[in-house]
Amino acid sequence: MSRILPKQEAIPRTEMIALLRAELVKLTDDDNSICKVASERGIFCKGFHRNSDGGLRRCYSWLDKRRPGMSREELEDLANRWQLARQIVDELPLACDVQQKEHDSCRGWDDFSNEELAGFFTELTGRSLIVA
């Protein structure tokens, strides 16, 4: 006899992003952008650690040019502060929302497929949803 597996709930992409945002905001604070938290914890997009040293320097070239020779740690610190400042200026809750708008260091939510967003949600919550 074959088993019938329960059908996974499918939600719109915008709803998945809202659910992810709610989970990710819990991990951030006034001193730690999601880019920094994701890097440190190896979660979500991996934050600053998704880039090699050269890639990070290209991503934040305007910061790197202002302080040539700074360490990666120093660049990540400046990039973290840049993301937090942009959140304040743009009045947005996460760096992902800022980058969705500005596209200067990544493309925000546009960087991820529906399947990747669903995978991040499962990683963070243990719940499985499908993005329709």
| 11 phi/psi in degrees, rounded to 5 | -130, 160
Dist CA 100 CA 105 (whole Å): 10
Dump pLDDT digits (tens) for 53-90.
Answer: 999 999 999 999 999 899 999 999 999 999 999 999 99
Residue 73's identity, in one-letter code, is: E
pLDDT, mean of each 10-residue run, the chain (132 residues) = 64 98 98 98 97 96 93 97 97 97 94 97 96 93
Two tokens, residue 25: 């905001």
pLDDT on residue 9: 79
- Report the distance separating Cα 90 and Cα 102, nearest Å: 10
Per the rule left: phi > 0, alpha: psi between -120 and 50, beta: everything else, 126 is: left
Prediction pTM value? 0.89
